[in-house]
């Protein structure tokens, strides 16, 4: 089923709550809906918008916004150890996590409460607390806008990396993800090696699936601002990755600087939030925008801000971090 709307207010369709609009918005449930749409009209510009939790609109969108609304979750295969689950792109991510935890299936619990649609999850390979969507994804189904074919891409071909996948590169602007398949484990697989999770889980009585989900939900609620109260897009910047020599030089100057191993030989990940905090920017405000006072990685709309104001603040933050540490921090958020 597809529905078409014109002159659509996007304020409640982006988590920054910036007040912009779209010329046309099409809600689709399936690849067939999209084929029908693209067969009848070839829009000059189109963009896929899930929940709008990782986008920043800086102007009205003078094209077609495509939004998935298929909400099916089904089991497509199973073995003694695992279950393969297919979720349509419009399913809310946390609904899928709750579904799997409720059925005793392991693999998604550390990703509880990430605000996302299932269709957006592979795009930046959402991750938290030592887990990433790509750890469980078996394949991604998408409609190719090049020739309107339906493609199934296996996990390896998706080239998942840190907040990265093929959908941010070769397939950017060419693929509309319609469904994702996940392989979830029937066997216990607690993954507690990250941050405060282990203590929180112990306090709840041990590493059951339910306790891990509850622990992660409560940590996230404590640490992150609620987008319904204060517009934001979660982490605005990615953690920068530098070579070992650069990391060593910084560590000798700042011995308390946190570092983590990164993919690739001799590569080291730095914590962008720590760098911003050490520039004295946590809680910094500039008019209607600011850096969150508990989480320096999060830029916030204090009320009525435009996308341009957020971008200006992001430039200030990047410049201050570069001036102090000589490290570039890149934006995680998609600017439109
Ligand atoms: C409070 C908060 C906390 C967050 N915490 C985390 C976190 O812990 N870890 C993390 O990784 N991220 C986090 N994020 C970022 C966000 O949750 C993810 O980027 C998420 O995947 C965005 O989902 P969405 O449906 O809102 O996608 P959107 O913001 O609508 O879109 C994001 C990108 O994906 C593309 N896209 C969306 N759907 C499709 C589709 N069906 N087909 C093709 N392309 C598509 C869009 O074009 C856009 O480029 C957080 C965001 C917020 C607001």
DSSP track, 91-142: SBHHHHHHHHHHTT-BSSGGGTT---BGGGTTTTT-EETTEEGGGTEEEEEE
Domain with CATH 3.30.43.10 in the chain: 3-68
Most ligand 1 atoms within 8 A of CB, residue of 112, 115, 163, 230 to mutate = 115
Q: Is the CB of 176 under 6 A from ligand 1?
A: yes
> Model-level pTM?
0.94
Mean pLDDT on 175-193:
95
pLDDT at 237 over 70: yes
How far apart, in Å, do the first and last CA atoms of the chain sit?
A: 27
Buried b (16+ CB within 10 A) or exposed e, 227-246: beebbbbbbbbbbbbbeeeb
Atom 3 (ligand 1) nearest CA: 234
Question: Which numbered atom of ligand 1 lies nearest the CA of 126?
Answer: 11
225 and 232 Cβ atoms separated by less than 8 Å = yes
Q: How far is the CA of 206 from the centre of ligand 1 (A)?
A: 31
pLDDT per residue as tens digits for the range 285-331: 999 999 999 999 999 999 999 999 999 999 999 999 999 999 999 99
Q: Among 29-43, 123-137, 199-213, which stretch is predicted with the lowest mean pLDDT?
A: 29-43
Q: How far is the CA of 251 from the centre of ligand 1 (A)?
A: 32
pLDDT of residue 138: 98
Domain with CATH 3.90.78.10 in the chain: 231-335
pLDDT of residue 184: 98
Assigned CATH topology for domain 3-68: 3.30.43
pLDDT of residue 196: 83
Report the side by side order of strands in the sheet with 137-144.
73-78, 82-88, 175-185, 137-144, 150-154
Question: Which numbered atom of ligand 1 lies nearest the CA of 121?
Answer: 21
CA–CA distance from 148 to each of 31, 32, 41, 218, 222 (Å)? 9, 10, 12, 43, 44
pLDDT at 194 over 80: no
190 and 109 Cβ atoms separated by less than 8 Å = no
Distance CA 201, CA 209 (A): 10
Domain 73-223, CATH class in plain words: alpha beta
Domain 231-335, CATH class in plain words: alpha beta
Atom 1 (ligand 1) nearest CA: 234
pLDDT of residue 1: 67
Catalytic position from the list 13, 86, 163, 213: 163
pLDDT at 201 over 90: yes
Note the Cα 208 to chain centre separation in Å: 25
């Amino acid at each position: 089923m597809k529905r078409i709307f014109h002159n659509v207010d996007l304020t409640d369709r982006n988590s920054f709550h910036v007040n912009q609009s779209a010329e046309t918005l099409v809600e689709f449930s399936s690849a067939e809906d999209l084929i029908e749409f693209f067969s009848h009209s070839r829009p000059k510009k189109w963009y896929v918008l899930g929940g709008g939790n990782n986008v920043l609109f800086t102007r009205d969108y003078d094209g077609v916004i495509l939004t998935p609304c298929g909400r099916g979750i089904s089991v497509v295969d199973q073995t003694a150890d695992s279950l393969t689950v297919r979720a349509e792109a419009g399913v809310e991510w946390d609904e899928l996590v709750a579904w799997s935890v409720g059925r005793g299936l392991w693999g998604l619990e550390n990703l509880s409460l990430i605000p996302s649609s299932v269709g957006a999850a592979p795009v930046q390979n959402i991750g938290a607390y030592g887990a990433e969507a790509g750890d469980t994804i078996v394949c991604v189904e998408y409609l190719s806008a090049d020739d309107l074919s339906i493609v199934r891409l296996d996990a390896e071909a998706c080239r998942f990396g840190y907040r990265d996948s093929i959908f941010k590169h070769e397939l950017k602007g060419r693929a509309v993800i319609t469904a994702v398949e996940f392989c979830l484990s029937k066997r216990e697989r607690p993954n507690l090696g990250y941050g405060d999770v282990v203590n929180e889980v112990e306090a709840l009585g041990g590493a059951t699936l339910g306790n891990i989900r509850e622990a992660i939900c409560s940590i996230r609620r404590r640490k992150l601002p609620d987008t319904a109260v204060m517009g934001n897009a979660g982490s605005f910047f990615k953690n920068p990755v530098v070579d070992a020599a650069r990391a060593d030089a910084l560590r000798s100057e700042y011995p308390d600087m946190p570092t983590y191993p990164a993919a690739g030989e001799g590569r080291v990940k730095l914590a962008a939030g720590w760098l911003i905090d050490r520039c004295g920017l946590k809680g910094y405000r500039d008019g209607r925008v600011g850096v969150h006072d508990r989480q320096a990685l999060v830029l916030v709309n204090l009320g009525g801000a435009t996308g341009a104001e957020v971008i200006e603040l992001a430039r200030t933050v990047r410049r201050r971090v570069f001036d102090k540490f000589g490290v570039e921090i890149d934006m995680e958020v998609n600017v439109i």
